């Protein structure tokens, strides 16, 4: 029989939606293997269990492990020169149309070896892990060919095997039009749809994404990608309504999308469709900040409609070179006016939902034993401060993970 480990003398924010923060003032947890066996008030644990190990957390705060549910972590190069161009007046769209933007990262990524891609992505992942992240989504989208998209997805899978973190992979071939398909967007979408079955057969992909916008792909082209995903039994998500309203959210919701992401130009009809489909609104304040956007996502309308809101880094080299989910907590509150509790549920409970994961994001018996231990009294402190990392250690699948592991 798997032994029981007791983690006691803690303040616990379980994120149970039945009460504010799911708060337990004097709390404890029991883990059995990779699962939470019991969560409750100090001293009230089952007495008939044999505890083989005990950890006194000395009043520390415990939360679910953080989930960064939207990243583009596998790529080569950087776009610092474009950052300078934007400060001199060039727009994101101008740079993309001139052959920069995503295309420049594609060129660097294609030139990099799998070993170089893995090494760079692993460094980025470890930075996120040091801030309490225990689950990470990684999208492709910087290869834009059968060979290089497959390589990026394989590297993402390798990260999940070699690092103590759960990695969920998303195929984003429909991210941008590569140079060799200039003027032939429909032909490129045909190619993307042909790659997906092979990616699925290799076990490289958990979901399918697309960029539906003025500098991305049309709703009709996006629909073709979604039809292919549907035929393969893969869930979908969408970069939607970031730069304009293409009604992409309603399209994605019609396919039962796990999430729609960005959403600065989301319409009321899109919100209604997402609510009906149970689709999560993925808010990405890092990109909003970095691009100096002024058109805020309709947070109040999403809140009134009961659409769950997740928060992620959107780490990528062009529009959100952020590697701090704690900073995103702060930005979600200051820029988008989420409450600290909403922001925290956005990086735990609702982030798990955005990835289709029902076994985490909440501290509850029977779920996965992924949690973070913080030198703090309350989670609102992490939303309040920035440039500060009070994470003491994390537990991933029941195993303590320190900063060095």
Write the CATH number for 387.
Answer: 2.30.40.10
**85-113 average pLDDT score:** 86
What would the pLDDT profile of 143-194 be if each residue is shown by its tens digit?
999 999 999 999 999 999 999 999 999 999 999 999 999 999 999 999 999 9
Residue that terminates a domain, selected from 354, 374, 389: 354
**218-231 average pLDDT score:** 98
> 23 has which bridge partners?
13
* Res 107 pLDDT > 90: yes
Nearest to 371 by CA among 3, 24, 18, 31: 31
Clarify whether residues 42 and 113 are in a common domain.
no
Clarify whether residues 139 and 233 are in a common domain.
yes
Write the CATH number for 185.
Answer: 3.20.20.140
* Res 404 pLDDT > 70: no
- Name the residue range of residue 383's domain: 4-64+362-401
CB 66 within 8 A of CB 361: no
Clarify whether residues 249 and 396 are in a common domain.
no
What would the pLDDT profile of 319-369 be if each residue is shown by its tens digit?
999 999 999 999 999 999 999 999 999 999 999 999 999 999 999 999 999
Number of domains in the chain: 2
**60-89 average pLDDT score:** 94
Clarify whether residues 78 and 56 are in a common domain.
no
Clarify whether residues 270 and 247 are in a common domain.
yes
């Amino acid at each position: 029989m798997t032994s029981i480990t007791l983690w006691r003398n803690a303040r616990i924010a379980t994120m149970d939606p039945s009460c504010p923060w799911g708060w337990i003032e004097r709390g404890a947890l029991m883990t059995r293997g990779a699962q939470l066996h019991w969560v409750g008030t100090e001293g009230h644990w089952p007495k008939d269990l044999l505890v083989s190990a005990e950890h006194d957390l000395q009043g520390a705060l415990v939360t679910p492990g953080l989930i960064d549910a939207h990243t583009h972590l596998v790529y080569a190069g950087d776009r610092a020169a474009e950052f300078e161009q934007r400060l001199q007046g060039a727009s994101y769209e101008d740079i993309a149309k001139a052959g920069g933007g995503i295309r420049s990262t594609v060129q660097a990524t294609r030139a990099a070896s799998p070993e170089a891609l893995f090494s760079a992505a692993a460094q980025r992942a470890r930075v996120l892990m040091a801030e309490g992240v225990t689950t990470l989504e990684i999208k492709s989208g910087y290869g834009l060919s059968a060979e290089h998209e497959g390589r990026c997805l394989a590297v993402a899978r390798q990260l999940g095997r070699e690092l103590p973190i759960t990695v969920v992979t998303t195929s984003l071939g429909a991210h941008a039009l590569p140079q060799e398909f200039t003027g032939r967007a429909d032909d490129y979408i045909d190619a993307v749809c042909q790659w997906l079955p092979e990616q699925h057969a290799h076990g490289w992909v958990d979901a399918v994404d697309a960029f539906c916008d003025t500098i991305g792909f049309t709703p009709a082209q996006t629909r073709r990608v979604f039809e292919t995903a549907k035929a393969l039994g893969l869930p979908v998500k969408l970069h939607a309504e970031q730069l304009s309203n293409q009604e992409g959210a309603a399209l994605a919701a019609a396919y039962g999308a796990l999430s729609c992401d960005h959403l600065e130009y989301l319409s009321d009809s899109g919100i209604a469709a997402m609510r009906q489909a149970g689709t999560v609104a993925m808010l990405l304040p890092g990109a909003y900040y970095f691009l100096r956007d002024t058109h805020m996502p309709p947070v109040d309308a999403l809140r009134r409609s009961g659409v769950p809101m997740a928060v992620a880094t959107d780490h990528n080299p062009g529009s959100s070179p952020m590697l701090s989910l704690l900073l995103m907590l702060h930005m979600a509150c200051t820029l988008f006016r989420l409450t600290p509790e909403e922001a925290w549920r956005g990086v735990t409970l609702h982030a798990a939902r955005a990835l289709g994961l029902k076994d985490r994001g909440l501290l509850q018996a029977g779920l996965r034993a992924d949690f973070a231990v913080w030198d703090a009294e309350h989670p609102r402190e992490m939303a309040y401060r920035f440039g500060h990392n009070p994470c003491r250690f994390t537990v991933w699948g029941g195993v303590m993970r320190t900063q060095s592991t």
